[in-house]
Amino acid sequence: MKTEISFQLNGEEVTVMAEAHYRLIDLLRGPLGLTGTKEGCGEGECGACTVIVNGRAVNSCLYPALEIEGKSVTTIEGLLGPRNRPSILQQGFIDHGAIQCGFCTPGMIMSAKALLDSNPEPSEEEIREALLGNLCRCTGYVQIVEAVKKAANELKRMS
Amino acid sequence: MTLSNIVYYEPRTLTEIFKLLKGLNSVRVMAGGTDLLVDLKQGLIDTRNIISLHKIRELKGIEKKNNTIKIGALTSIQEIISNSLINQHIPALADAAKSMASHQVRSLATIGGNICSAVPSADLPPPLIAAEATVDLKCLGSSREVPLSDFFRGPRETICRKEELLTSIFIPLQPPNTGMSYKKFTPREATALAVASVAASLTLKNGVIAKAVIVLGAVAPTPVMALKASKSLTTKEPSEDSFQETALTAKEESKPISDIRGSIWFRKELIYVLTRRALDEALSRAQGKLE
Amino acid sequence: MKNFRYIGKEAPRPDSADKAAGKAHYIHDLQRPGMLYGKIKFSEHPHARIKHIDTSKAERLAGVRAVITANNTPEIRFGFLRDNLALKKDKVRQYRDEIAAVAAIDPDIAEEAIDLIEVEYEPLPGLFSPEEAMKKGAPLIHDTDVQGRPRTDNLLSLQFHHESGNLGDGKRASEYLIEREYSTPLVQQSCLGTAGCIAEFDMNNNLTIWAKTQIPFLAQRDFNRALSDMGLQGKNSRVIVPTLGGGFGSGLDTHAYEYIAILLAFQTGRPVKIVYNREEEFAYLSPRQSTQSRIAQGCDRNGKLTFREVEVLQDNGAYTSWGATYPSVMMLPATSLYRVSNIYFNARLVYTNNTYCQAMRGYGNPELNWALESNMDELAEEAGIDPFEFRMINCNEPGETTPMGLKVSTCGLKECLESVAQKLDWKKKHKKSNLRGVGMASLIHVGGGGRIYRSDASGLILKLDDFGNVYAYHGGVEMGQGLHSVLTLAIAEALGVRPENVFINPTDTGTCPWDIGTHASRGAFMACNTAILAANKLRDKIFELAEEVFPKEVEKNLKKFREKNPGYNPPEFDFKKEAKSDCFELQDGFIFIKKGPREAWLRLELARLLRAVHFRNQGQMLTAEVFYDPPNVLPDFEKGFGNISATYAYGTQGAEVEVDVETGEIRILHLVAAHDVGKVLNPLALKGQIYGALAQGVGYALYEELQSQQGKIMNPNFRDYKIPTALDMDFPIDLEFIETDDSFGPFGAKGVAEPGLVPTAPAIANAIFDAVGVRIRDLPITPQKVLVALNKLKQSQETPRRKRVNKGT
C-alpha cells in the first residue's frame, strides 16, 4: 500500500511515495537519489546511515518512512555550502585525516553535527559519547575526535 | 508474506487505536519502530497491519501528579535521560536509559517499546520494578493498572492482551531517605546489551534499612525481584558485611542461562558484584551523598 | 636523510573531500541501466548431500528473471586449490554453501524468491574442529582432490616447514625452557562497506565486473577461466574497482557470489548486482582463520634464546582460499623475530565443516605473534629476566641474515623497544602488583613486498596532458588505507609537479598495468617505487625536449619581462648554452636550470613545453611506463627458506592496563606503538593507519570472536560481534615512528599497513599478567576468561588480593 508523504529535505520540500515497511533510508537512497547516506548494517548498530531529523541524529535504517511526514531531514548532502564548498565540520574531517575508507564518514559527520548544534563546546568525553553509535573500522577514532574538536573551535571563532 | 501488502494505520486518538486493535487480526503496534522494522525486514515477524502511535500526543511526556510520576509510553529514551523530574526523583532510571544503545537509537526508541518488547536484558524494567512502577493497560471500554513486576511472562512475552495497549507508566514518588541504583555489565564500554544487571532500592529509617528491593536483569527469562536478598536487608544496618551477604543471596537466587554473551557461572559472579555495587550506590544516594 | 618537498609532510588525502561530502561511490551506490538484483540461497546444513532442489515456486514469482542451480548452469571451480564450486552440486560442506540463486527486478522480490526455493538434504556427520577432522576414520569432507584422485584424510596437501640448527643442541643448552599452547579465534574483517559486485556482459560476450576486490588482475584471470568454463572461450573480463568501504584482506580472493552474479548476468543478458547485507557479510563471507599453536622456547642463563619450536594447526574450514598460505607469513616471526638459532616450524591445515576462511590484515602474523610474544614473556618470567631486557638481549640488528634467509637491510627494533619502555615508564611501572600492569610485544613483517606468487610486481603508467597534469594508471587498490594519497605525493615529489596536478585513475584492468594485488603491506612500497622509476623516465624525456624548447620559450619570457620592466638588467647567465638535458630541474611544474639564477622569467612552465612539443608537425605527447619487480625471492615454503621481501618492518607496542578483579574487566589506560617505518611518507595518513590498526588489535585482544557452533555462526551482527567504539578507544595513544631510511624503500619507506595490529594482543596480555598474575592464552581475553583465571589463581594461593577497583557502569 503506497502512501504519499511530504517533508523538508535539506531545506527543500519533497514529496514521495512510500510503503508501510519502508525506512527513511530507503527513500533517501532510492527515489530521492541521495546515496551519501550509507547502509552499513540495517539494524541501528553501526550508525553509517545517521541523518538529522528535527535536530536530532537518528538511524535512518530504523526510522519508519511514513512517519517522516511533515518533518525536517538533513543528510550529508545538505551540509555542503554554496559553490561546492565543504562545511567547516566536513573540512575538519578532511584536514585532520579523519577519513579512510569513508563508508562511515557521512554518518559520523552527521552525529558530530547534531552534537555541535546542541553543544558547541563539547569535551572529548562528550564527543566520544556522541559518536559511540558510529562504528569505524579504519581510523581508531583518534583523528575523528580531533577533527570534531578543531571544527568546534573553528565554528566558535567564526561566530 | 509480502512486505508491500502491509497496511499502515496512523490513528489520531486512543479510541481509534483500541478499535483497530480489536478489529484487526494480524497486527503490530509500532512505537519508535526501532525493533519492528528490522524484525520485519529480517523475516523474524510477520504482520498484515501496522498501527503507528506517533500521532497520539497524549502518549508522550513526563509529568508529576500528586505523588506519582507519569511517563507516557511513547516517551523516548532520550527524554528520560534529560528530564529533570526523572533526574531528581529516580536518577537510577536515567542511568539505565543512558546505558542504552546510541544517541541515534535513544532518540527513536521509547520506554513503552523497551518494556513491551520484553527482552530479558532490557535496561529500563529493573529500575522501574525496583521503584514499584505500575503500567496502565487500556483497551476499548476498560483499563487496568498492573505492577510492572507482574507484567512479564517470558522472553518477548507479556500479560498485555492483543486488544490492549500499554499507555503509561506510573512511578510512585519514593519515600524520604530512599536511594536507587542501576548497575549493568557489558562486554564493551558502549551500546552493548547487558550480560547481567542489577537495580537496587534502599529506604533508610533511623539508620536502619526500612525497605530494600533488588531486581535482577538478564539472568532469567524476565527481570526478577531477588525476594530473599531484598528481605534479608530489612531492619539491618547498612554495612559492607550485610551487603556482601545480600549479594551472595542474590547470586544464589539468580537463574541465568549460558549463551554467547556469558556462562551461568560468570553471570552469577556478576550478580554478586553488581548487587554489592548497586547497594553501595543506592546507600550513598539514600544518605544524600550523591547528586 | 634528504629534504623532500612533499614527502614527509602532512597532506589531506585526495579522496577525502568526496568522501566527506557523501560523493564517493561504493558498490552499494552504483546502478546500471536495466540492472537486476541477485540473491543467493545458502545451505541449511553444515554437511549434507543435496537430494533435490525445487525452484518451481521461485520461478513463478512475478518479477523473477532467473533462477539458477548447479543443475542448470556450467560448473565453475575456483579457490586457491580449486576445491570450491560457485554453486554446489551434490554435497554441501559448510552452512554457507551456495545452492541456488535468483535475479529479480528488485531486492525484495529476490529475497522472497529465495524463500520459495525448497531443498531436500540428507545430513552427514559434521566435523567442527581440526582434532575431530584429523581422527582416524573421520568422514572425508572432500572425497577427491581437484584432479579426481581419492583423498584419504582431511589434511591439506600444502606444506609449510622450516628446520635450522639442531633442536636437541638448543634444548641441551637451555637453562630455562617453557612450552605452552595458544589459540586464536575466527575474526571478521568487518568492513563497514559490505561485499558486492555488478556483472554485465556486452554483445560480444565480454564481461565487465565492478568488484570489491584487492586483486583486480588475479580476479581477471579467475573470471576469464570462469568464462571459459561457461563455454565463452577466449572472452575477456574487465575488472573495475569502485570506492571500497574497507578491505582488510577480504578482497584477496574471488568469491562464489561474484561467479553467481556472472552466471545470472549471462543467463538474463542484463547487469546483475549482488550486495551482501550485514548478516550475510558475517555469516557467508570468509573470516580470519582460527589457529592453535604450541610454542617451546629456551634460553641460557644470560637470557640468550637457545631454540624455538613452533607447531601450528589451522582450521581451514570447508574450502581453500589464499588465506591457507598464512603459514608462509607465520614463518617470519617463527624464524626471524629476535635472534635465535635451532628452530623447528611446522604448520598443518585441516578441512572441517566450519566456514572456510580467508585473508585478513596481518595474514598469519597476528596469530603466531600472539603465541610467540606471549611465550617470550612466559620464558622471561621463568628465567627471572625483565621482559624488556629479555627482548633487548635477543634483539635483531641491521645487516643480519636470519635462519629463514631474510636479509635485514635496516632494522629499528632496538629503538622501538627502547621507545616503548620509555613511553610506558617501564622501569617504574613493571612488576608493581597494584592491579595495573604494563606489557610489550614486538613484530617483524614484510615491508618490501612479499613474494608469494611467481610475480611480486607492479606497473605504473604516467600520462601528461597539455596542461601539465599527470594521470597515473596503477593496478593497486585504494581501499581506505591511503594508497592514492602516497602515490600522489610520490609522483609529485619524484617528477616535480604539484600534488593537485596529479590524478590517480580508478583501478581498472582495462586501463591499468598489472599488479599482483594490494596485500602484504606492499601498496605504498610498490606504488611509490614505480612512481620514482616512471617519474625518472618521464623527466628524462621532458629534459631532452627542453634542450630545444627551453631556450626559445625563455627568450620570449625575457622579452616580455623587459617590456614590463624597462631598464631590467638580467644577470650574467648564458641560458642557451646551459640548456642541456642533464642541467635541468623540474619543480612544482616549472623547468629550471639547476645552477641558474632563480629569475621569474628564467623558467619554463611544464604545460608550455608539453603544448610546444604536441602542437607542431610530427608532434608528440609524453607518457612513461614502468614495471617494477622488487628484489626478493619466492621462498621454498616446504623448506622454509627464502628472502620473501626486499625489506622488513619492525615494531614494538606497549600497553598499560587495569584489571577489575571482581568482574574480570580489562581497562586499557595507555597504548604505545613504536614502528620502524623506514620513512614517513604522509604523517597524517600514517598515523591513521596505525591508530586504526591498534583499534583492530584491541578488538582482537579483548572483544572479537566469530562464534561458531556446529559450523553455524551465532553472532552475525554488530550487536554480538563487538568491534571497538570511540568509547572503547578512549585512552591516550602514543605513536613513535623510527625512520631507518631503507635503501630499497621508496624515499626510504617500508610497508606499514599491517604491522600496527600484529603485536597489540600479546602486549595487552603481557600487561594483564603484570597486573594480576593471570595468563590468558586463548583470544579474545574476555572478562569471563580473566575472572575464571583469577579464581583459579585465588584457589591456588591462599593470599588473594582483596583490593577493589570500582568502575562506574
pLDDT over threshold 90, residue C156: yes
Question: How crowded is the C-beta side of C64, counted as CA atoms within 13 Å?
Answer: 23
- Distance between CA atoms of residues C509 and C504, nearest Å: 14
Q: Which residue, C523, C748, C16, is CA-closest to A139? A: C16
- Distance between CA atoms of residues B117 and C34, nearest Å: 41
- Distance between CA atoms of residues C668 and C656, nearest Å: 6
Tell me the mean pLDDT in the region C140-163.
Answer: 94
Helix C365-383, helix C760-772: angle, nearest 10: 30
* Predicted confidence (pLDDT) per residue in C68-104, tens digit: 999 999 999 999 999 999 999 999 999 999 999 999 9
- Distance between CA atoms of residues C490 and C488, nearest Å: 5
pLDDT over threshold 60, residue C349: yes
- Distance between CA atoms of residues C296 and C179, nearest Å: 4
* Predicted confidence (pLDDT) per residue in C331-347, tens digit: 999 999 999 999 999 99
Q: Identify the pLDDT of residue C799.
A: 52
- Distance between CA atoms of residues C275 and C219, nearest Å: 18
In chain C, the residue whose alpha carbon lies closest to the alpha carbon of A99 is C16
Residue C325 DSSP code: G
- B3, B183, B191 member nearest C809 (Cβ): B183
Question: How crowded is the C-beta side of C118, counted as CA atoms within 13 Å?
Answer: 4
Residues with pLDDT less than 70, chain A = none
Confidence of residue C3 (pLDDT cuts 50, 70, 90): confident
Q: Identify the pLDDT of residue C319.
A: 98
Angle at B213 between CA B210 and CA B216, to 5 degrees: 160
Are the CB atoms for C476 and C455 separated by under 8 Å?
no
Provide the 10 A C-beta neighbour count for residue B259. 13
Q: Which residues pair with C48 in a beta bridge?
A: C92, C123
Are the CB atoms for C130 and C350 separated by under 8 Å?
yes
Residue owning grid cell 535504517: A61
Cell of C139: 568422514
Maximal C-alpha separation, chain C: 100
Are the CB atoms for A92 and A151 separated by under 8 Å?
yes
- C663, C715, C726 member nearest B260 (Cβ): C715
Cα→Cα distances C292→A146, C126, C158, C318, Å: 39, 20, 17, 18
Q: Is the dihedral of CA B16, B21, B26, B31 positive or negative?
A: positive
Tell me the mean pLDDT in the region C532-546.
Answer: 97
- A103, A125, A128 member nearest C192 (Cβ): A103
Residue C430 DSSP code: T
* Predicted confidence (pLDDT) per residue in C437-450, tens digit: 999 999 999 999 99
* Predicted confidence (pLDDT) per residue in C376-409, tens digit: 999 999 999 999 999 999 999 999 999 999 999 9
- Distance between CA atoms of residues C20 and A108, nearest Å: 10
Are the CB atoms for C248 and C687 separated by under 8 Å?
no
Torsion angle of C-alpha atoms C148, C154, C159, C161, degrees rounded to 10? -170
Confidence of residue C805 (pLDDT cuts 50, 70, 90): very low
Q: Which residues pair with C658 in a beta bridge?
A: C436, C667
Tell me the mean pLDDT in the region C319-341.
Answer: 97
Task: Please state, rounded to an integer, the average pLDDT across all residues of chain C.
Answer: 96
Starting at the edge strand found earlier in the chain, the sheet holding B27-30 runs B7-9, B49-52, B27-30
Q: Identify the pLDDT of residue B290.
A: 62
Q: Which residues pair with B178 in a beta bridge?
A: B203
Cell of C387: 621482559
pLDDT over threshold 90, residue C786: yes
- Distance between CA atoms of residues C804 and C455, nearest Å: 58
Tell me the DSSP string of C239-254.
Answer: EE--B-S--TTTTSS-
Burial class (CB in 10 A: 0-12, 13-18, 19+), C2: exposed
pLDDT over threshold 80, residue C798: no
Provide the 10 A C-beta neighbour count for residue C600. 8
Residue owning grid cell 496502565: B136
Q: Identify the pLDDT of residue A2.
A: 87
Provide the 10 A C-beta neighbour count for residue C788. 18
Confidence of residue C806 (pLDDT cuts 50, 70, 90): very low
- Distance between CA atoms of residues B46 and B36, nearest Å: 10
Residue type, C719: R
Are the CB atoms for B220 and B117 separated by under 8 Å?
no
- Distance between CA atoms of residues B257 and B221, nearest Å: 9
* Total-model pTM: 0.97
SS3 of C371-413: the string is HHHHHHHHHHHHHCCCHHHHHHHCCCCCCCECCCCCECCCCCH
Would you write out chain B's pLDDT as a tens digit for each of its 291 residues? 567 788 999 999 999 999 999 999 999 999 998 888 888 888 888 899 999 999 999 999 999 999 999 999 999 999 999 999 999 999 999 999 999 989 999 999 999 999 999 999 999 999 999 999 999 999 999 999 999 999 999 999 999 999 999 999 999 999 999 999 999 999 876 667 899 999 999 999 999 999 999 999 999 999 999 999 999 999 999 999 999 999 999 999 999 999 989 999 999 999 999 999 999 999 999 998 765
* Predicted confidence (pLDDT) per residue in C403-433, tens digit: 999 999 999 999 999 999 999 999 999 999 7
Provide the 10 A C-beta neighbour count for residue C514. 15
Give C247's contacts in chain A (Cβ within 8 Å). Answer: 101
- Distance between CA atoms of residues C164 and C331, nearest Å: 12
Q: Rg (Cα) of chain B, in Å, rounded?
A: 19
pLDDT over threshold 80, residue C486: yes
- Strands C272-275 and C36-42, bridge-based pairing: parallel
Which of A67, A68, A129 to mutate: most B Cβ within 10 Å?
A67
- A34, A99, A139 member nearest C20 (Cβ): A99
Q: Which residue, A64, A43, A60, A62, is CA-closest to A52? A: A60
pLDDT over threshold 60, residue C804: no
In chain C, the residue whose alpha carbon lies closest to the alpha carbon of B40 is C108
Q: Is A144 an 8 Å CB contact of chain C?
A: yes
Q: Identify the pLDDT of residue C807.
A: 44
* Predicted confidence (pLDDT) per residue in C170-183, tens digit: 999 999 999 999 99
- Distance between CA atoms of residues A141 and B2, nearest Å: 41
Confidence of residue C689 (pLDDT cuts 50, 70, 90): very high
- Decide if C726 and A141 are in contact by the 8 Å CB cutoff: yes
**How far does the CA of residue A159 sit from the closest CA of chain C (Å)?**
23
- C115, C663, C727 member nearest B190 (Cβ): C727
Q: Which residues contact C349 (CB under 8 A, 6 or more apart)?
A: C155, C156, C158, C314, C316, C324, C327
Q: Is B106 an 8 Å CB contact of chain C?
A: no
Provide the 10 A C-beta neighbour count for residue C175. 14
Provide the 10 A C-beta neighbour count for residue A19. 17
Q: Is B52 an 8 Å CB contact of chain A?
A: yes
Q: Which residue, C116, C122, C3, C10, is CA-closest to C54? A: C116
In chain B, the residue whose alpha carbon lies closest to the alpha carbon of A41 is B38
Q: Identify the pLDDT of residue C809.
A: 39
- Distance between CA atoms of residues C673 and C755, nearest Å: 10
Are the CB atoms for C528 and C476 separated by under 8 Å?
no
Angle at C721 between CA A133 and CA A109, to 5 degrees: 25
Q: Is the dihedral of CA A105, A33, B107, B154 positive or negative?
A: negative
Burial class (CB in 10 A: 0-12, 13-18, 19+), A125: exposed
Q: Is the dihedral of CA C260, C263, C267, C268 positive or negative?
A: positive
For chain A, the distance separating the N- and C-terminal CA atoms, rounded to the nearest angstrom, is 48
Q: Which residue, C704, C808, C809, C807, is CA-closest to C435? A: C807
Percent of chain C with pLDDT over 70: 98
**How far does the CA of residue A6 sit from the closest CA of chain C (Å)?**
23
Q: Identify the pLDDT of residue C433.
A: 78
- Decide if C22 and A131 are in contact by the 8 Å CB cutoff: no
Which of B267, B269, B272 to mutate: most C Cβ within 10 Å?
B269
* Predicted confidence (pLDDT) per residue in C728-763, tens digit: 999 999 999 999 999 999 999 999 999 999 999 999
* Predicted confidence (pLDDT) per residue in C623-662, tens digit: 999 999 999 999 999 999 999 999 999 999 999 999 999 9
Cell of C42: 545458502
Burial class (CB in 10 A: 0-12, 13-18, 19+), C57: middle
- Distance between CA atoms of residues C455 and B280, nearest Å: 66
Q: Which residues contact A145 (CB under 8 A, 6 or more apart)?
A: A124, A127, A128, A131, C726
pLDDT over threshold 90, residue C698: yes
pLDDT over threshold 90, residue C701: yes
Residue type, C525: F
**How far does the CA of residue C243 sit from the closest CA of chain A (Å)?**
8
